[in-house]
Structure 1
Amino acid sequence: MTRTLTAALAATTMLTGAAMAQDTMIIGITQNNVGVDSYQTTYEQAFIAAAEANDAVETVVLDAGGDVARQIAQMEDLIQQQVDAIIIWPTNGEAVIPAVRKASQADIPVIVTNSNIAEQGQDFIASFSGPDNITQGQRAAEIMCDKFKADGIETEAKIVQISGQPGYTTAIERAQGFEERLPEVCPDVELMETQPGDWNREKSQQVMEAFLTKYDDIDGVYAGDDNMGVGALNAAKAAGRAGDITFVGATNFAVGYDAMAAGEYWGSIYQSPVDDAEAALQTAIDVLNGEDVPKLNYFDTPKITQDNMQEFDKPVF
């Protein structure tokens, strides 16, 4: 059955491919905040490219701009248009649950991408596609601990943490994984303080400036992604203290990769936005085709440090 998009929705959407055929899958996606960083921008580009390469798929591509209310309204629009499936990159893992539940009640399968929704919403989704963020946090703790052991300071090191956006599941889970794993591998390392950097490099630089003023002794910084980690690095460089601090992040951005190559940034977790986008689209297609899809459909995100970075291509974002 041919579906017609209303003018209101069409004004804010991007359709890929030719006219909608009878057997075309119509998949809507509402993203978190495309303009906030290069990862999300690259994700959108990869998603559109993957959809355009598949003649059986039409997409409605939306961006919430980091606004929970806007994302809920976009979910409502997609439900009204009776798309075949909805992919959501949540702006807030709890606030979007009523909209996800409404889609489920309308028999529209929902695939959560990149950052999962809260536990109480799991019954309303068909699958989560993305990284295992708790594992990422755990691996980041292992990277930092290994470096401290190599430097002989594992019994006395003091660190700070710059987390992502409050209420955002990825931020919560990466911090959780790090905080749970660090005392297991380096029980004497002290995590002195955590402050949010909101995935923003400039804000993270300001957070780090405050840390540097408050603490005379900082041996390590864990940031929820490399964008924030490089902001912290910039603050430490400006203060003349970067050489004394081990910087570890996640979601290895190009700026993080470059800082590692320069010997200024120790390690991160390698994660591809292209893999992320393609996995989300394929998960939606598999669900619509009636295939058996795992509820938690993770892709691997390995450790990357100065020691093994030659094994990885420089990120494109």
Structure 2
Amino acid sequence: MKTALKVALACSTALIGTAAAAQDMTIGITQNNVGVDSYQTTYEQAFIAAAEANPDVEVVVLDAGGDVARQLAQIDDLIQQEVDAMIIWPTNGEAVIPAVRRASQADIPVVITNSNIAEAGFDFISAFSGPDNVTQGSRSAEIMCDRFKELGIEDEAKVVHITGQPGYTTAIERAQGFNDRLPEVCPNVEQIDEQPGDWNREKSQQVMEAFLVQYDDIDGVYSGDDNMGVGAMNAAIAADRVDGITFVGATNFAVGYDAMAEGTYWGSIYQSPVDDAEAALQTAIDVLNGEDVPFLNYFDTPKITQDNMDEFTKPVF
């Protein structure tokens, strides 16, 4: 998929008689996998809308389709096009580093969006823009623990964990945040299994079906996002075991919000793909303008549960 957007930039003349022409910026973005879920679809739509609203910016919008090799080729293509800046939503936080290094060697500033690359690549990027995924995982653990305490089972509860795509930085960091924080807040809760759901609802449902066969006692399910969490919830509903299980995610989707309203899904982390996309584009613009940009440019992602969901609007993705 390739979408090119261009808006002519009007020149203006200063009152003192000096011609001052604002500089066009060509910014390329290669995304992870737009079609895999509604978050990434909404992100792309918001990114294009933000670019169209800025007359100083031309963007080249690419989608790797979840394919690492395709993304590496897209990065090289953007280098050949001599874009002014590049935004990368990595398909794999390790695998993209050599291509990111090539962009850096070509003097093209790189902003990583949504899911960071591995630390070994930090020297080759200008900034990361997105959520703090470790904090999201930690907050999800706190939601889970608080719920167990309300139910009086914090000394005996058993939890299963469905992670995102293996090797994907967001999946790694959200799992790390949850796994590190849960023993701190609920030391007697036992995590009995952890399997990948690959950000896919159907696969996560299958993972949960296997958990339900293997384990007679499951009190909580943590999933790296609500898409996977609702898949797990659907498996529990089909097995008539949904009662008594606390479902917690790490990015609130519309399906998770609806399930919370219905009382079957407990909580998640509220994250806007529109904020995500707009922040990435603005970060790249700020870098090109020479502004001081934090290396880790996080936006806040608060806790959302059945208790406070009325304070939040339903996600559009």
| TM-score normalized with structure 2 length | 0.95
Residue 3 of structure 1: aligned partner: none
Deviation track 1:53-94 (CA, whole Å, cap 9, x = no partner) reads: 000000000000000000000000000110000000000000
Local SS of the residue matching 2:207: helix
Paired with 2:56 and 2:3, the residues of 1 have a C-alpha distance of 16
Contact in 2 for aligned 1:20/1:58 (Cα 8 Å): no
Paired with 1:232 and 1:249, the residues of 2 have a C-alpha distance of 11
Paired with 2:8 and 2:82, the residues of 1 have a C-alpha distance of 17
> Structure 1: 5+ residue runs without aligned partners?
1-11
The aligned runs of 1:227-242 (5 Å cut-off) are 227-242=227-242
Paired with 1:273 and 1:18, the residues of 2 have a C-alpha distance of 24
The aligned runs of 1:240-259 (5 Å cut-off) are 240-259=240-259
Deviation track 1:133-156 (CA, whole Å, cap 9, x = no partner) reads: 000000000000000000000000
Paired letter, 1:188: N
Residue 123 of structure 1: aligned partner: 123
Residue 18 of structure 1: aligned partner: 7
| Deviation of 1:293 (Å) | 0.3
Paired with 1:205 and 1:70, the residues of 2 have a C-alpha distance of 29
The aligned runs of 1:38-77 (5 Å cut-off) are 38-77=38-77
Deviation track 1:232-272 (CA, whole Å, cap 9, x = no partner) reads: 00000000000120000011000000000000000000000
Paired with 1:157 and 1:106, the residues of 2 have a C-alpha distance of 53
Residue 13 of structure 2: aligned partner: none
Residue 5 of structure 1: aligned partner: none
Deviation track 1:173-201 (CA, whole Å, cap 9, x = no partner) reads: 00000000000000000000100000000
Paired with 1:68 and 1:36, the residues of 2 have a C-alpha distance of 15
Paired with 1:198 and 1:115, the residues of 2 have a C-alpha distance of 14
Paired letter, 2:289: N
Contact in 1 for aligned 2:7/2:57 (Cα 8 Å): no
The aligned runs of 1:26-41 (5 Å cut-off) are 26-41=26-41
Residue 176 of structure 2 is aligned to residue 187 of structure 1: no
Paired with 1:251 and 1:283, the residues of 2 have a C-alpha distance of 22
RMSD: 0.9
Deviation track 1:157-186 (CA, whole Å, cap 9, x = no partner) reads: 000000000000000000000000000000
Contact in 2 for aligned 1:90/1:115 (Cα 8 Å): yes
> Structure 2: 5+ residue runs without aligned partners?
11-21
Residue 222 of structure 1: aligned partner: 222
Paired with 1:74 and 1:48, the residues of 2 have a C-alpha distance of 18
Paired with 1:105 and 1:14, the residues of 2 have a C-alpha distance of 26
Residue 153 of structure 2 is aligned to residue 153 of structure 1: yes
Aligned length in residues = 306
The aligned runs of 1:166-315 (5 Å cut-off) are 166-315=166-315
Contact in 2 for aligned 1:161/1:194 (Cα 8 Å): yes
Paired with 1:213 and 1:24, the residues of 2 have a C-alpha distance of 59
Local SS of the residue matching 1:290: coil
Local SS of the residue matching 1:243: coil
Moved over 3 A (4+): 19-22
| Deviation of 1:16 (Å) | 1.5
Residue 90 of structure 2: aligned partner: 90
Paired with 2:33 and 2:158, the residues of 1 have a C-alpha distance of 33
| Deviation of 1:13 (Å) | 2.4
| Deviation of 1:20 (Å) | 7.3
Contact in 2 for aligned 1:197/1:204 (Cα 8 Å): yes
Paired with 1:149 and 1:225, the residues of 2 have a C-alpha distance of 23
Contact in 1 for aligned 2:7/2:56 (Cα 8 Å): no
Paired with 1:166 and 1:20, the residues of 2 have a C-alpha distance of 43
Paired letter, 2:306: Q
| Deviation of 1:19 (Å) | 4.8
Residue 100 of structure 2 is aligned to residue 100 of structure 1: yes
Paired with 2:131 and 2:253, the residues of 1 have a C-alpha distance of 15
Paired with 2:192 and 2:147, the residues of 1 have a C-alpha distance of 18
Deviation track 1:259-306 (CA, whole Å, cap 9, x = no partner) reads: 000000000000000000000000000000000000000000000000
| Deviation of 1:18 (Å) | 2.8
